[in-house]
Amino acid sequence: MLWNDEFETLPREAIESLQLKRLQQTVERVYATVPFYRRQFDQQGVKPEQIKSLNDLSRLPFTLKQDMRDNYPYGLFAVPLDQIVRIHASSGTTGKPTVVGYTRRDIDNWTEMMARSFVAAGAHRGDVIHNAYGYGLFTGGLGAHYGAERIGASVIPMSGGNTKKQLMIMQDFGSTVITCTPSYSLYLAEAAAEEGIDIRALKLRVGILGAEPWSEKMRAEIEEKVGIKAIDIYGLSEILGPGVGIECIEAQSGLHIWEDHFIVEVIDPDSGEVLPLGEQGELVITTITKEGIPMIRYRTRDITRIIAEPCVCGRTHRRLARMSGRSDDMLIIRGVNVFPSQIESVLMDIEGVEPHYLLIVDREENLDTLEVQVEVNEQTFSDEIKVLQDLTSRIQKEIKDILGITCRVRLVEPKTIARSEGKAKRVIDNRPR
Ligand code: DLL
């Protein structure tokens, strides 16, 4: 099922000519209206009229999160505030949030993209969509809400938190679709079990899960424990919010990017060079329909690759492989590059271990240390010491095999690692800066 047959199946040439036309308009507009972009373009020695083909995109300068901070709060807006009907912000790890503004048409386009996304995930009119993304400055709640209404589903604006109540509503209201972070979906399953509720027996059919990195193995866990099809949804507030890309339920393999609204590139994060199609690197996104805060070559820091092969679902929009982490999530431990997702995939393969873990990085006598805390399940926890010791050494060995570094492994009791209602926190880096 498609939401917008015409646009979701545009032939490649039509997508590209639309992209070029919209890119040219965007570039002209930002050059004329946003002093920051004019300065950046001038410094790079490029004029809007030099953008004659999609390849010329690479002549334009990148935009960074820092640029948004430097122009806080409204400096990158391309329209006067009286045309902005909504403001969202995302809190970074430090300092001021990054602020984004939407015109009425931006909200309408976002809603259209979320409607396409819901339908791609197999949701439809008649569904009861239990929206547990946070409402507020975070884009997740309202973004999903508008899209759910647009397809004619009944949306329950739950927001995050209050897990017991979520379960009650889910049972009583007959929720069929859940939208939340992947980690929260597991938490719901766990809390349900504690309450004596068989979550698998509820009406839930699909989970539309995103806002944080997760893995194929985590998907298998969620599908099994929650009893749903788990669909990956990607987005970021700087570009839109949720709905930049989504997996289709037919393939569950790669996230379709709505290419009539965005142009994606994958670059080498060190050199900034555009990589050949299909190679893994940092995702860069240019918006081509946004009015409030258009983004030119925004460096997302998310690591992925473009999948250009056609998809079984019939959508012609290219896909991105599941995000394998963020370049700024990458830990350098004793000189070795470590992505939390690599450790996650080791842990998920091991019997007796739960999908809840925490990586603690520290420095002792000038040497980096890594401690992997991981929960074991009830059954393993009550096993003999010997079993637990074997499990510890096995995890240690497998991490060493994959990453080449020795870590400390600490098995912890079930339910001791803090659960999150939104994005999970997986890393604590205590090293002195
Ligand atoms: O997380 C928007 C969103 C809401 C997406 C609900 C999906 C669902 P931000 O708070 O600005 O926006 O965070 C964006 O989260 O750059 C990625 O690093 C990460 N992220 C989002 N979706 C995924 C995903 C929302 N499916 C940042 N897989 C992005 C991996 C994701 N990482």
Q: What does the pLDDT look like over 236-249, one tens digit per residue?
A: 999 999 999 999 99
- 380 CB near ligand 1 (under 6 Å): no
- 211 CB near ligand 1 (under 6 Å): yes
Tally Cβ neighbours within 10 Å of residue 335.
8
Q: Which of 137, 214, 232, 236 maximizes ligand 1 atoms within 8 Å of its Cβ, making it the mutation to test the pocket?
A: 236
- 292 CB near ligand 1 (under 6 Å): no
* Per-residue pLDDT reduced to its tens digit, 280-307: 999 999 999 999 999 999 999 999 999 9
Q: Which of 264, 323, 423 maximizes ligand 1 atoms within 8 Å of its Cβ, making it the mutation to test the pocket?
A: 323
- 281 CB near ligand 1 (under 6 Å): no
Range in 221-230, 335-344, 396-405 with the lowest mean pLDDT: 335-344
Q: Which of 135, 212, 293 maximizes ligand 1 atoms within 8 Å of its Cβ, making it the mutation to test the pocket?
A: 212
Atom of ligand 1 nearest to the CA of 326: 18
Distance (Å, whole) CA 282 – CA 404: 24
User: How many A from CA of 394 to the centre of ligand 1?
Assistant: 32
Beta bridge partners of 285: 264, 298
Distance (Å, whole) CA 17 – CA 88: 31
Q: Using the Cα atoms of residue 257, residue 259, residue 262 and residue 264 in order, give the sign of their dihedral.
A: positive
User: How many A from CA of 90 to the centre of ligand 1?
Assistant: 11
- 241 CB near ligand 1 (under 6 Å): yes
**Residue with CA closest to ligand 1 atom 12:** 236
Cis bond leading into 355, ω under 30°?
A: no
Distance (Å, whole) CA 308 – CA 311: 9
- 114 CB near ligand 1 (under 6 Å): no
Q: Looking at residues 73-89, what average pLDDT do you find?
A: 98
User: How many A from CA of 328 to the centre of ligand 1?
Assistant: 14
Nearest to 26 by CA among 325, 287, 205: 287
CATH of region 331-429: 3.30.300.30
Model confidence at 160, pLDDT cuts 50, 70, 90, reads very high
Rounded to the nearest integer, the mean pLDDT of the chain is 95
Model confidence at 90, pLDDT cuts 50, 70, 90, reads confident
pLDDT at 93: 55
- 422 CB near ligand 1 (under 6 Å): no
Q: What is the dihedral of CA 383, 388, 390, 393, to 10 degrees?
A: 170
Model confidence at 226, pLDDT cuts 50, 70, 90, reads very high
Nearest to 358 by CA among 309, 316, 409: 409
- 286 CB near ligand 1 (under 6 Å): no
How big is the CA angle at 322 (ends 319 and 328), to the nearest 5 degrees? Answer: 120
- 139 CB near ligand 1 (under 6 Å): yes
- Distance of CA 402 to CAs 259, 281, 336, 347, 358, Å? 36, 20, 11, 12, 18
- Is pLDDT above 80 for 92? no
Nearest to 63 by CA among 290, 220, 320: 290
Q: Give the E-state strand segments of 297-343 in sequence order.
A: 298-304, 306-307, 319-320, 331-333, 336-338
Model confidence at 330, pLDDT cuts 50, 70, 90, reads confident
Strand 128-131 and strand 255-257: pairing? unpaired
Atom of ligand 1 nearest to the CA of 255: 26
- 179 CB near ligand 1 (under 6 Å): no
For CATH 3.40.50.12780, list the domain ranges present in the chain: 1-327
Distance (Å, whole) CA 266 – CA 278: 8
Q: Looking at residues 320-347, what average pLDDT do you find?
A: 89
- 210 CB near ligand 1 (under 6 Å): yes
For CATH 3.30.300.30, list the domain ranges present in the chain: 331-429
Termini Cα distance of the chain: 51
Atom of ligand 1 nearest to the CA of 144: 6
User: How many A from CA of 139 to the centre of ligand 1?
Assistant: 10
- 131 CB near ligand 1 (under 6 Å): no
CATH of 1-327, one of 3.40.50.720, 3.40.50.12780, 3.90.1280.10, 3.30.420.40: 3.40.50.12780
User: How many A from CA of 302 to the centre of ligand 1?
Assistant: 9
Q: Looking at residues 161-189, what average pLDDT do you find?
A: 96
User: How many A from CA of 257 to the centre of ligand 1?
Assistant: 14
pTM equals 0.92
